[in-house]
Chain A
Amino acid sequence: MAETIDQIFVLAKDRFLDLLGIVLPDWIILLVRILISIAVLLAVAPVVMMYMTWLERKVLGRIQNRYGPNRVGIFGLLQPIADGIKMLTKEDIVPKNADQVIHFLAPVVIVIAPLLVLAVLPFGRNMIAADLNVGLLFFLGVSTFGVIALFMGSWASRNKYSLLGGMRAFAQMISYEIPMVLSVVPVILVTSSLSTAAIVEAQLGWKWFIFTPWGGFAALVFFLCGVAEVNRTPFDLPEAESEIVAGFHTEYSGMKFALFYMAEFISTFAISGLAVTLFLGGWDGPAFLPSWFWFGLKTFILILIMIWFRGTLPRFRVDQLMGFAWKVFLPFTLANIFIAALWALLPYPKNFIADTIGITVILTLLQIFNRKETPKKRKYLYAN
């Protein structure tokens, strides 16, 4: 029974294809087999995005001692639909001096990348749309594509705030791409595979990488870099509303604006899903619940943490953001590769000790080298 529920989506797809096979030729079945996965991803992703906006508003509301949306439907559950209708019916404003074609293309292109990367996420046992043997690289490579669309939008708007936002996004992406990829390298090193499915399989049975010394820190770095990649607080400089209004999407309205948001939320989901896949054991979990449930739960928790960040933290300044990437994350991830290699090389008790020592040393060194940037506690005088 548990097995059936676990594989329910896979079985449903197979049964559907079997039924089609009675009437249709083989090549159509082959096409349909591919198209079903694509169609499901394309249908699920916007729904996930819509309810992520609802969740974000709800959780932020609760953090701020408010209710959050609760008017449209029970618990405000229909709010995203109302928002969608509003977005669709809004006037589409294009600035007079904007580059019309690119201004139109940017929101179209920006959703492509986050939708593409969903293909290599293993949502459950046997539930991966395309098990590429370079899946991880595919994810990292395609997700860089988003920044180009983002810059297209910022440049085509002919708005100075947009341009500043685009510049920031560029600089930020370049800086955070490197520690992000480097923090993934230990995983590749230990599993010696680039396939996301294989990475999950290597962690089955509670051997999640987050429980290893190197994995815990790599997961932290990866998650923070991921937050930076998808432009969320405290790294939301490209759209910092208190400084540059709305950054790269200042000049967008209506559905085009919604597409920017959609891209952002789907990439948030995708990055959380990848973090789960790489470090939190993917769909691995106690067998009494289906594998896709565990994947969803873990992703949900990571998304909640991102929202929690947003409800608590102020954002960095540009130079601090860069400094953080280059002076803290980069050296740490480089050292972490070495530490992970030690873990893979040595037998059990020794590797644990070696890793602990290595991490302590690198953290201490980072603290010493960055002490000039670390803020100090202050004392205040009183006058009578």
Chain B
Amino acid sequence: MFGWGVLKGMLVTLWNFLLTYLWPKKGIFTVQYPEKKLPLAQRYRNFPFLVYDGTPHMIRCVACKICESECPPKCIYIIPEKDAEGRVQKKPAVFDIDYAICMNCGLCEEVCPFDSIFMDHEYEISKYNRAEDLMVRKEALLKPWEYFAKIRPHDFERIEAKRAAKSAKAKPVAPAEKPSQKPDAGPTSPQQGSVPKNG
């Protein structure tokens, strides 16, 4: 009989209609976004950020430029810091990421040998200006290592273990490296307000 299939289809939509009232949890699958947010998967990746240990002065990045050259759309721009004599330091002076170009692939995180660049969970980054506002500078990219521990506890554990193993191996070889960093951090730690000077 012509029309039977139409009726069957209409019953399906009717059932879905009723389900949204009878059992909203199952019936409605949209999320009321600004009020409610879906929990993000730990591996969720959006845009890269840089980590520092303790204070923003202690950037983990050593300006090796691996991520810059591996980045497929070439959205990273790094200039290493130079001291007074013009020697290249293991620290970036400029570290820019153009969020307008970045395609969230996460390759920079994968290739970084120093565990210093990671993909962020922050996704509310709408800006009014594409050219300037989306060009993110070093200061805005820097986030503490604890933040990473918070958003990706699994990866944090894995990387901590790896780093511990590495530093245990590295300690006997170059014991001078660690202490040399400590005095650096010492004077800056009491005054948190001096962050902008760094950049």
Contacts and interface: CB of A to CB of B under 8 A. Distances in A.
Touching in the complex, A and B, CB below 8 A?
yes
A309 B21 CA distance: 20
B14 A62 contact: no
B21 A308 contact: no
A62 B30 contact: no
B89 interface: no
Main secondary structure of the interface of B (DSSP, over half): helix
Interface string B1-24: 010001001101110110111000
Contact of B13 (A70, A308, A370, A374): A308
A63 B12 CA distance: 9
27 contacts: A62-B16, A62-B17, A62-B20, A63-B16, A64-B16, A65-B16, A65-B19, A65-B27, A65-B28, A66-B28, A66-B29, A66-B30, A67-B28, A67-B30, A70-B32, A308-B10, A308-B17, A309-B10, A311-B13, A312-B6, A312-B9, A312-B10, A312-B12, A312-B13, A313-B10, A370-B2, A374-B2
Contact of A65 (B9, B10, B30, B32): B30
Interface in A297-318: 308-309, 311-313
A308 B28 contact: no
Which of B12, B13, B21 gathers the greatest number of chain A CB atoms within 10 Å? B13
Given A66-B28, A312-B9, A312-B12, 20 more contacts: A59-B17, A62-B20, A63-B13, A63-B17, A65-B19, A65-B20, A65-B28, A65-B29, A65-B30, A67-B28, A67-B30, A67-B32, A308-B10, A308-B14, A308-B17, A309-B10, A312-B10, A312-B13, A313-B9, A370-B2
Nearest to A377: B5
Contacts of B29: 65-66
The 5 closest A-B pairs by CB, nearest first: A312-B13, A62-B20, A63-B17, A63-B13, A62-B17
A277 B189 CA distance: 83
A144 B93 CA distance: 76
Contacts of B13: 63, 308, 311-312
Interface of A: 59, 62-67, 70, 308-309, 311-313, 367, 370, 374
A374 B16 CA distance: 29
Which of B16, B21, B32 gathers the greatest number of chain A CB atoms within 10 Å? B16
Contacts of B21: 62
Contacts of B9: 312-313
Contacts of A370: 2
Contacts of A312: 6, 9-10, 12-13
Interface residues of B, number: 17
Nearest to B29: A65
Contacts of A313: 6, 9-10
Interface of B: 2, 6, 9-10, 12-14, 16-17, 19-21, 27-30, 32
A67 B17 CA distance: 10
A62 to B, nearest CB: 5
A313 to B, nearest CB: 7
B66 to A, nearest CB: 46
Contacts of B32: 67, 70
Nearest to B15: A63
A313 B14 CA distance: 12
Nearest to A370: B2
A312 B17 CA distance: 11
B32 to A, nearest CB: 8
A63 B20 CA distance: 8
Nearest to B28: A65
A313 B2 CA distance: 14
B75 to A, nearest CB: 35
B8 to A, nearest CB: 10
Contacts of A62: 16-17, 20-21
Which of B6, B12, B17 gathers the greatest number of chain A CB atoms within 10 Å? B17
Contacts of A59: 17
B2 to A, nearest CB: 6
A263 to B, nearest CB: 27
B87 to A, nearest CB: 59
Nearest to B1: A367
A293 B40 CA distance: 50
A381 B10 CA distance: 29
B22 to A, nearest CB: 11
A309 B10 CA distance: 8
Contacts of A70: 32
Contacts of A65: 16, 19-20, 27-30
A308 B15 CA distance: 11
B38 to A, nearest CB: 16
Nearest to A313: B6
A308 B16 CA distance: 11
Nearest to B5: A375
Contacts of A308: 10, 13-14, 17
Contacts of A367: 2
Which of B12, B19, B28 gathers the greatest number of chain A CB atoms within 10 Å? B28
Nearest to A374: B2
Contacts of B28: 65-67
Nearest to B10: A312
A201 B19 CA distance: 40
Which of A64, A313, A367, A374 gathers the greatest number of chain B CB atoms within 10 Å? A64
A65 B16 CA distance: 7
Which of B10, B12, B21, B32 gathers the greatest number of chain A CB atoms within 10 Å? B10
